[in-house]
C-alpha cells in the first residue's frame, strides 16, 4: 500500500512494548522511506507524565519522517482519522490472577476503543496486542462500526517463535523457514503447525527427522515461550512483541509473496471447521490493499485437528465470559 502520510494510534504508548515499537514506527522501516508519520499516543491519565518522557526521547531521535505526536488520555482524540490502530495498552495479569479475571478486567477498555474507532479513516486497520488479545479484538470489533475484516489479534510473535525454533533444530537460517501457521488463541492452547511449514521450500517433516520433537517439545516450547522469557528476564516479552506487531503491520501493508502465508488471528468464517464468530488465528495472506484472506486447503492431520479444537474450545469459553458480561 503506497501512501504519502500515515496516522497511527498506539495505545499503552508509555509501556514496555510501546517503547520498543515507537522508534521503529517513526524511522521509515514500517511504512517506507517516503511516507511521513503522525503518532497518536494514548495512555491512561496517571501514565501521561511517563509518556511525556517517551515523547522527549522520540523528539531527540530527530526522525525526519515524524511530522507530529499527539499525547493524550482521550480515546476519541487518539483515534480521529487514524489509518492504523495498534492496541497494546491493557492491564497486566497480576500474580495469581485467573484468565477469566484478566478478560473481564481488560474487556471494558476495548468496548470504548471499539466505539471510538468510528472516527478513524475509512481504510483503518487494527492489530490487538493487549491480552487476552483474541477476545479483546472480538470486543473491539463487536463495539465498532468499522468492518469486521479490519480487526486482527497478534499471533505473529508465536509464528516468529516457531520459526526460530524450527530453524535452530534444522541448523539453518531463520530466513529458510516459511509457511508456519499458528492456529487458535494467543495463549498456551495455541497450535503452532509444523505440518504445513517449509524449510528451504521442503516440508519440515522431511527436513527434521525428529518427529517426536515436532509433535512434542516444539509445540510446548512455542506455547510456553512467553513464560520462559518472564522467568529468564523478570519481565514479559517486549522487544520481540513489538517486532512481531510491526511485522504484522508490514505484512498487511504489502502483498504476501505467492505461495506464502503468515499468522494472524481474524474473525473465523468457518474455515477448517472452526466455529464462526470468534477471533481465531489462521494462516492468512494480504493483497495490495491490506485485505486479509484465510488460506484454504492446508492438510490437517488428526493430531493437528485435535489441537485446533482444543484452542477453539478455549476461545468459545472466553467469548461466553465476555458475552455474559455484556461486552459484545
Q: Which residues are catalytic?
A: 186
Beta-bridge mates of residue 187: none
Which set of grid coordinates corresponds to residue 225?
A: 515461550
Return the axis-axis angle of helices 302-324 and 133-142, rounded to nearest 10°: 50
CB of 241 to ligand NAX, least distance (A): 4
Which set of grid coordinates corresponds to residue 3?
A: 501512501
Among 54, 66, 90, 278, binds ligand NAX (CB under 6 A): 90
Using the contact rule CB under 6 A, the part of the chain among 60-68, 88-96, 291-299, 315-323 near ligand NAX is 88-96
User: Is residue 157 part of the contact set for ligand NAX (CB under 6 A)?
Assistant: yes
User: Is residue 315 part of the contact set for ligand NAX (CB under 6 A)?
Assistant: no
Residues in contact with ligand NAX, counted by CB under 6 A, come to a total of: 29
Using the contact rule CB under 6 A, the part of the chain among 124-132, 160-168, 206-214, 285-293 near ligand NAX is 124-132
Which set of grid coordinates corresponds to residue 21?
A: 515499537
User: Is residue 85 part of the contact set for ligand NAX (CB under 6 A)?
Assistant: no
Among 38, 43, 193, 314, binds ligand NAX (CB under 6 A): 43
Q: Quick one: which of 61, 43, 59 has its CA closest to 51?
A: 43
Using the contact rule CB under 6 A, the part of the chain among 118-126, 204-212, 236-244, 314-322 near ligand NAX is 236-244
Q: Where are the beta strands (DSSP E) in the chain?
A: 5-11, 36-42, 66-72, 84-87, 125-128, 151-153, 177-178, 181-183, 191-193, 198-199, 202-203, 262-267, 279-286, 292-294
Among 32, 44, 247, 309, binds ligand NAX (CB under 6 A): 44
What binding mask, one character per residue, do residues 208-227 give for ligand NAX by CB under 6 A, x or -? Answer: ------------------x-
CA dist 185 and 135 (Å) reads 9
Using the contact rule CB under 6 A, the part of the chain among 23-31, 85-93, 211-219, 254-262 near ligand NAX is 85-93
In the complex with ligand NAX, which residue's Cβ is closer, 85 or 226?
Answer: 226
User: Is residue 237 part of the contact set for ligand NAX (CB under 6 A)?
Assistant: yes
What binding mask, one character per residue, do residues 171-210 give for ligand NAX by CB under 6 A, x or -? Answer: ---------------x------------------------
Q: Quick one: which of 133, 124, 127 has its CA closest to 81?
A: 124
CA dist 299 and 283 (Å) reads 12
Q: Quick one: which of 250, 89, 294, 92 has its CA closest to 156?
A: 250
User: Is residue 279 part of the contact set for ligand NAX (CB under 6 A)?
Assistant: no
Among 12, 107, 114, 283, binds ligand NAX (CB under 6 A): 12
CA dist 249 and 262 (Å) reads 11
Amino acid at each position: 500500500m503506497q501512501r504519502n502520510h500515515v496516522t497511527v494510534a498506539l495505545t499503552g504508548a508509555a509501556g514496555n512494548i510501546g517503547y520498543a515499537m515507537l522508534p521503529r514506527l517513526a524511522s521509515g522501516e514500517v511504512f517506507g522511506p517516503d511516507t511521513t508519520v503522525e503518532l497518536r499516543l494514548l495512555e491512561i491519565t496517571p501514565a501521561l507524565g511517563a509518556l511525556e518522557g517517551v515523547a522527549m526521547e522520540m523528539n531527540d531521535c530527530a526522525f525526519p519522517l515524524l511530522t507530529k505526536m499527539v499525547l493524550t488520555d482521550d480515546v476519541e482524540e487518539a483515534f480521529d482519522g487514524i489509518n492504523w490502530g495498534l492496541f497494546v495498552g491493557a492491564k497486566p495479569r497480576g500474580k495469581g490472577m485467573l484468565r477469566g479475571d484478566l478478560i473481564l478486567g481488560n474487556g471494558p477498555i476495548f468496548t470504548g476503543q471499539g466505539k471510538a474507532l468510528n472516527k478513524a479513516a475509512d481504510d483503518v486497520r487494527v492489530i490487538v496486542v493487549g491480552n487476552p488479545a483474541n477476545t479483546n479484538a472480538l470486543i473491539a470489533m463487536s463495539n465498532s462500526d468499522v468492518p469486521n475484516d479490519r480487526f486482527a489479534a497478534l499471533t505473529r510473535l508465536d509464528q516468529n517463535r516457531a520459526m526460530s525454533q524450527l530453524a535452530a533444530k534444522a541448523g539453518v537460517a531463520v530466513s529458510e523457514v516459511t509457511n508456519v501457521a499458528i492456529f487458535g488463541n494467543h495463549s498456551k492452547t495455541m497450535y503452532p503447525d509444523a505440518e504445513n511449514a517449509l524449510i528451504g521450500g521442503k516440508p519440515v517433516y522431511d527436513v527434521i527427522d525428529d518427529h517426536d520433537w515436532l509433535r512434542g517439545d516444539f509445540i510446548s516450547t512455542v506455547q510456553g515461550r512467553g513464560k520462559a522469557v518472564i522467568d529468564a528476564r523478570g519481565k514479559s516479552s517486549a522487544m520481540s512483541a513489538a517486532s512481531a506487531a510491526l511485522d504484522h503491520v508490514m505484512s498487511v501493508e504489502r502483498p504476501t509473496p505467492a505461495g506464502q502465508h503468515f499468522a494472524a488471528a481474524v474473525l473465523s468464517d468457518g474455515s477448517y471447521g472452526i466455529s464462526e464468530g470468534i477471533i481465531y488465528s489462521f494462516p492468512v495472506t494480504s493483497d495490495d490493499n491490506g485485505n486479509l484472506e484465510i488460506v484454504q486447503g492446508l492438510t490437517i492431520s488428526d493430531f493437528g485437528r485435535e489441537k485446533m479444537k482444543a484452542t477453539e474450545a478455549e476461545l468459545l469459553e472466553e467469548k461466553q465470559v465476555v458475552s455474559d458480561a455484556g461486552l459484545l
